[in-house]
Chains A and B, each alone.
Chain A
Amino acid sequence: MVFVISRSGVHRDQRFRSWRLKLTVFATSGVAAGAVCGAVLGWLGGMLLPASSRIGLAVIGGLGAATVAVTGIAGKRVRLPQWERETPQRWTRGGALRSAAFNGAAMGSGFTTRIGFWLWYVVPVGAVLSGSPVAGAALYVAYAATRIFITSVLFVSRIRLTQRFGRSFTSVVRTILAQRGIADRVSTWQLLAVSISVLISFNL
């Protein structure tokens, strides 16, 4: 995409407009993908699972999440079921807007690339167990919008970030990536909090 945008012969004002357009497509696609995923999962949960089954599954899920969280806190990583891959590079060759749309959808849906954290499963499982398309969409949109928003803020503020830290943006990003350990610990403790909350809410 970078090559498509930065090629010669593109006027300055068009380039300026294009990043806004790409960002808009990226954000819209991401949030829409999240809304669709959540609505479909919530609808499926409501259609296929009666309320009593959803409560039972929530309790089982809460116990499972607590087990995973406690194991993680104890220092043992439980292998995460996920599609271990990154965003396909071929998307960058399909045009700027198409690439932005596909990347946004991948980020908003979350499951087509590396997931990384058990806490992510709260989103689809919560959507299914809500049994409601509206509730499922609301939960999934909270995830998608946050992911898209953070990425968008990083993008539009990249110059200020560079000036603030006195390093290249790539270096700043590497610093963010180096916080994986903190993210792991926070997400694990949050998973424990969710599991305890679920179990308490169903009087266990």
Chain B
Amino acid sequence: MSPLGSLRMLSDPVLSTSHPSMGIVMRGAPVATILLGVTCGVFASGNGMSWLAPVLVVSAMLAALAQQTLP
């Protein structure tokens, strides 16, 4: 689903005045970093591999990022 589609799905046009929620980005960055590390660790330990795990996990995240450009 595109960002526009997601927005339409989630949006409340009546409420669209202000949400002081931009801070979620700042709070989300360290949380995302920790999650990335934990995910890499879990994947590496469950799969018996070490350095390949972050490559695969980052690839999965990049795939998700790229899909935001899908119509």
A: which residues have CB within 8 A of B? 1-2, 5-6, 12, 15-16, 18-19, 22-23, 26, 42, 86-87, 92, 99-100, 103, 106-107, 110, 113-117, 119-120, 122-123, 126, 130-132, 134-136, 138-147, 149-160, 169-170, 173-174, 176-180, 182-184, 186-187, 190-191, 193-194, 197-198, 201
**What are 22 A-B contacts defined by CB distance under 8 Å?**
A1-B10, A2-B12, A5-B12, A15-B15, A87-B5, A103-B9, A106-B1, A123-B63, A138-B43, A139-B43, A146-B60, A149-B32, A150-B64, A150-B68, A154-B7, A158-B19, A169-B7, A173-B4, A177-B4, A180-B70, A183-B68, A183-B69
Contact of B18 with A by CB under 8 A: yes
B: which residues have CB within 8 A of A? 1-19, 21-22, 24-25, 28, 32, 35-36, 39, 42-43, 45-47, 49, 51-52, 55-71
Q: How far is the CA of A20 from the CA of B10 in the complex (A)?
A: 9
Q: Are A99 and B9 in contact (CB under 8 A)?
A: yes
Query: What is the CB-to-nearest-CB distance from A51 to chain B, in angstroms, rounded to a whole number?
Result: 9
Query: What is the CB-to-nearest-CB distance from B1 to chain A, in angstroms, rounded to a whole number?
Result: 5
> B64 contacts which chain A residues (CB < 8 A)?
143-144, 146-147, 150
Q: How far is the CA of A107 from the CA of B7 in the complex (A)?
A: 13
Counted as pairs of residues, one from A and one from B, with CB atoms less than 8 Å apart, the total is: 207
Most buried by A among B1, B13, B16, B18: B1
Q: Are A103 and B47 in contact (CB under 8 A)?
A: no
